[in-house]
Amino acid sequence: MDNYKFIISGGGTGGHIYPAIAIANELKRRFKDAEFLFVGAKDKMEMEKVPQAGYKIEGLWISGLQRKLTFKNLMFPIKLIKSLLRARNIVKKFQPDIAIGTGGFASGPLLKMVAISKVPYVLQEQNSFAGVTNKLLAGKAEKICVAYDGMEQFFPKERTIKTGNPVRTDLVHMKTDQNEALDFFGLSNNNPTVLVLGGSLGARRINQLIEKELPFFKEMGLQLLWQCGKLYYDDYKKYDTENVKVKAFLNKMDFAYSASDFVISRAGAGSVSELCLVGKPTVFIPSPNVAEDHQTKNAKALVNKQAALMLKEKNLDREFQKVFADLVNSKEKQNSISINIKKLALPKATERIVDEIEKIIKNKNTVISEMV
């Protein structure tokens, strides 16, 4: 039997959505006749990204709590009740064999109703500091798949397994030649290349830093592949030149990573996992504006193993030039970071997560067969 029904929830940011899609793709590869249904938040990016990946999605009227008293927070109880009722109807109608949650507030109401319906579920936690939703849902999860050591501080030890984070398959098998990648972006093979990543929407503070330091990069003989984000492209496209390529978004990330010699990046869980696979010397600039400051914790997990460098936003003006120049001028430091970051890569994460899901549904069917 491979006509299982999988219901998958996770969203709000790409860090929750892309792992969910990667897991669905691997399940689809193994179970050709399976049915899939995603559940997300109505006004978030999953409502666009999931259909683009070829899957159906239902939306809940839900949002996260704000850090200060706002009208949205006053609406939260109403949204939660409506989302729970809608989630109950979705589960009742779809009748899944198993559910998978990859974090984000939309997965809360859905997995609560999944648990009430006695449907097993698996959680996937991307960050080194667990999100609120996953912590609340962990009690009844069959398995919690994590990407970092020490996650037993958040989850039941006996049900927590380190699998790593799902990443794009083109990065697992990355074979693009650097010269080919540089040519693709119109860059020279005579100068070292710095890849700047601020996430799909962009990072204002990183963009401000790069704008300010353009003369420094030129003086160092470096060229830039700068993903400034679609929110900021109109502000920074004026800097696009022969040695500075400004992009709203990078669709071919395997080419972008192959072209680079150094990376400056936010420290979202997905980016960290990808960069471990890629193995390029990386300077993380974590966003201080995310829940539980988890990007700083993600970056520190690598810094503590001499696998990356980290600069806090508040220290950029004072420290950036020295830290980055020291890295560019030291082949020994570059090689050491590359070796150490590659040691942390978990390229088979998606397969290992799906292995756990497969065990649960097959065990469930065995129990049902024995009861009959």
Indicate the pLDDT class of residue 67, thresholds 50, 70 and 90.
very low
Indicate the pLDDT class of residue 153, thresholds 50, 70 and 90.
very high
* pLDDT mean across residues, the chain: 91
- For residue 366, the model assigns a pLDDT of 63
Structural domain spans, the chain: 5-165+348-371, 170-343
Fold match, 5-165+348-371 / 170-343: yes
Say which amino acid occupies 237. Answer: K
5-165+348-371 is a CATH 3.60.21.10 domain = no
Binding residue positions: 13-15, 127, 168, 200, 295
Question: Averaged over 154-160, what is the pLDDT?
Answer: 96
What fold does the segment set 170-343 form as a domain?
Answer: Rossmann fold (3.40.50)
By CB atoms closer than 10 A (0-12, 13-18, 19+), residue 93 is exposed
Q: What is the pTM assigned to this prediction?
A: 0.85
Question: Averaged over 88-102, what is the pLDDT?
Answer: 97
Binding residue positions for UDP-N-acetyl-alpha-D-glucosamine: 13-15, 127, 168, 200, 295
Q: Which of 55-59, 70-74, 269-273, 356-360 is least confident?
A: 70-74
Indicate the pLDDT class of residue 64, thresholds 50, 70 and 90.
low
- For residue 74, the model assigns a pLDDT of 58
* CA 102 – CA 16 distance, rounded (Å): 6
